[in-house]
Each structure stands twice: as C-alpha cells, then as structure tokens.
C-alpha cells in the first residue's frame, strides 16, 4: 500500500496519510507525493475539493526523524545550517495555498510538529474529539517549520501563537476550537462523514468563484483595505461575464438548485 492513498469520490479527492504504525510521520517520499498531487491539480478540471486525513489513530506525528538523532550526534553540519538545504515542506505549503481547489483537513488524531503545520495548510479544519495538537519543535530544541510560524498567528492571533510555540505542549480539540484553530469538533466516527458532507457541499458551488475567493482571501493578508476592495471590484466585473453567474441567476428565479459548470 502506498504511504499516501489517493482516492476519488465524485469530484472530491481524498488524500490519506498511510503510515498508521508511525502515526503517519511524514517521510521525504510522502512530502514529494503530496507536492506532486497538488502540482497535478493545476491541470485537473474534475476535482472540486480535496480532503486530507490520516489512517489509524494519528493525523500526522510530524516529520520522520528516525535518522535525526544519529545525524545530530555525528555533528552533521547540514543540521546546524538547515536554511542551506532544500525544504520540501516550504514548497508544499505554497502549493496548497495556491491550489484553486478548496482543501479541507479531517484531523483525526495527533497533529504535532510538521503535522501541525500540515493541518494549518488546509483551508478548513474539522477535528475529531480525540485530536491533539502541539508546536512540538520547542521540546526538540528547534524553531517551527512546515510554515507554522506563518499560519498560526494568522489563525489564532499573535499572543496565543507565541504561547503555543513557547510552551510546546499538547492541547486538545476543544482548546483548538476555542482559539479558532478548527471550525468543528466531532466524535471520531462522525469526523470523516461530516468532512465529506462539507466537501460535497463545496463541490455543488461554482468552482471558479471558490478559486477566486480563496485567492483573494490569502492575497488580502498582504494588502491594504483599498487594494482589497479594488481587487473585489475587478473580480466582480469579470465574473458577471461568466456562464456560472447567469446560471446562478436563472436558478434563483426558477427556485431550483444551480448547476455550476466552472465556465
């Protein structure tokens, strides 16, 4: 079985991290497989939503560090100067954010370290009541990675983010909900069905509008209010010309569900 399972359910692409015996610790090969999947989505017109989850008891226990202790004891200079080495996770974070398809995380268990970062790369997060999170790097004598230092303060605020980094402690799903890290907390048996229900709902919407809203929301993080309002205005003018807009109006006046085609 591959370490990353790729399954299609209609217009939903489900990606399952599949190393349950290691709580889905991410190997370099797994990161490469995830990155390639999101690269391929640039040419994919069938997929309208992506769901990311983990097999077994964990979502992702972080990067696979099975050889890190050996390298640290050996004095490997590459470990002391990580900015000189390629970081696949940095590319993956950008690929997911630039992906025009909405990405939903079904956080089924522990999500720490790099797994914590991966959960935050998702546009929306639903969590099992058994999920646990941690900026565990502090406990290992490392700064954050997996783009966590970018995502976390934007999701939960600067003070809370820094506290989580400084402490490095595990916290549960209810705390994640309270601070705004996740949108919903569900019993374990309800997590994937509820996530897939949301994904199917997303698939019913206009895919080009979803893509534009995602682009604008992330772009606005770096823009002034004036710039954001201008981009919205330009986007509205463009989308008035599309068939999906005309279909939306027709469906509203005819009191039926719209059938969006992405054009």
| CATH number, domain containing residue 215 | 1.10.12
- Which of 86-90, 159-163, 236-240 has the highest average model confidence (pLDDT)? 159-163
The enclosing domain of 183 has a CATH number of: 3.90.226.10
- 223 shares its domain with 129: no
Residue 64 is predicted with a pLDDT of 84
- The tally of domains found in the chain comes to 2
Cα Rg, the chain, nearest whole Å: 20
- Are residue 74 and residue 55 in the same domain, yes or no? yes
The token pair that represents 182 in the structure block: 């996740």
Q: Give Cα 187 distance to the centre of its chain.
A: 21
Q: Region 192-202: what's the mean pLDDT?
A: 98
Whether 130 is covered by a domain: the verdict is yes
For residue 3, pLDDT over 60 is answered with yes
CA distances from 199 to 11, 120, 193, 209 (A): 9, 17, 10, 15
Instruction: Name the residue among 79, 87, 84 with its Cα closest to residue 114.
Output: 87
Rounded to whole angstroms, what are the CA distances from 139 to 113, 164, 259?
10, 12, 51
Cα gap 239→186, rounded to integer Å: 36
Residue 138 and residue 79 share a domain: yes
Specify whether the CB–CB gap between 147 and 89 falls below 8 A. yes
Q: Which domain holds residue 112?
A: 4-203
Q: Is residue 127 part of a domain?
A: yes
Do 242 and 139 lie in a common domain?
no
Residues 193 and 122 in one domain: yes
Percentage of the chain modeled with pLDDT above 90: 85
Average pLDDT over residues 158-185: 98
* pLDDT for 86 beyond 70: no
Q: Rounded to whole angstroms, how far apart are CA atoms 231 and 109? A: 38
pLDDT of residue 68: 55
CB 261, CB 243: distance < 8 Å? yes
Q: Are residues 144 and 58 in the same domain?
A: yes
3-state DSSP call for residue 214? Answer: helix
Same domain, 161 and 224: no
Same domain, 157 and 211: no
89: confidence class by pLDDT, cuts 50, 70, 90: very low
Same domain, 144 and 239: no
| Residue 114 contacts residue 151 (beta carbons within 8 Å) | no
38 & 162 share domain: yes
Of the candidates 234, 233, 259, 232, the one whose C-alpha atom is nearest the C-alpha of residue 244 is 259
Q: Choose between 86 and 160: higher pLDDT.
A: 160
Read off the pLDDT of residues 55-84 as tens digits, 9 standing for 90 and up: 999 999 998 876 555 555 555 554 444 444
| 17 close to 4: Cβ distance less than 8 angstroms | yes
pLDDT in tens, 210-247: 999 999 999 999 999 999 999 999 999 999 899 999 99
Does 221 share its domain with 179?
A: no
Q: Locate 130 and state its tokens.
A: 């058994």
Same domain, 20 and 93: yes
192 inside domain: yes
Give the mean pLDDT of 136-143: 93
Do the domain assignments include residue 259? no
In a domain, 146, yes or no: yes
Span 17-50, pLDDT tens digits: 999 999 999 998 999 999 999 999 999 999 999 9
> Mean pLDDT across the chain, nearest whole number?
91
The answer to whether residue 64 is domain-embedded is: yes
For strands 171-172 and 184-186, give the pairing.
unpaired
Domain membership flag for residue 258: no
What is the per-residue pLDDT for 17? 98
Per the domain annotation, does 261 fall within a domain? no
pLDDT for the residue numbered 90: 56
């Amino acid at each position: 079985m591959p370490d990353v399972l790729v399954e299609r359910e209609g217009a939903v692409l489900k990606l399952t991290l599949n190393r349950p015996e290691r709580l889905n610790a991410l190997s370099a090969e797994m990161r490469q497989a995830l990155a390639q999947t999101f690269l391929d989505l640039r040419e994919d017109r069938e997929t309208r939503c992506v769901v990311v989850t983990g097999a077994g008891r964990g979502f992702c226990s972080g990067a696979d560090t099975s050889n890190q202790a050996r390298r640290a004891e050996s004095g490997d200079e590459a470990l002391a100067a990580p900015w000189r080495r390629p970081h696949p996770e940095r590319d993956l974070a950008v690929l997911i954010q630039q992906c025009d398809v909405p990405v939903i995380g079904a956080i089924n268990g522990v999500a720490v370290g790099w797994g914590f970062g991966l959960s935050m790369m998702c546009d929306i997060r639903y969590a099992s009541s058994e999920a646990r999170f941690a900026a565990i790097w502090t406990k290992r004598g490392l700064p954050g990675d997996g783009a966590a230092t970018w995502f976390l303060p934007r999701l939960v605020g600067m003070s809370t983010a820094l506290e989580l980094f400084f402490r490095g402690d595990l916290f549960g799903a209810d705390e994640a909900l309270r601070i705004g890290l996740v949108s919903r907390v569900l019993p374990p048996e309800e997590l994937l069905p509820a996530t897939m229900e949301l994904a199917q709902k997303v698939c019913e919407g206009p895919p080009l509008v979803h893509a534009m809203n995602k682009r604008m929301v992330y772009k606005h993080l770096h823009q002034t209010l004036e710039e954001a309002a201008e981009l919205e205005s330009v986007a509205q003018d463009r989308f008035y010309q599309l068939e999906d807009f005309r279909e939306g109006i027709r469906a509203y006046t005819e009191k039926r569900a719209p059938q969006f085609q992405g054009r």
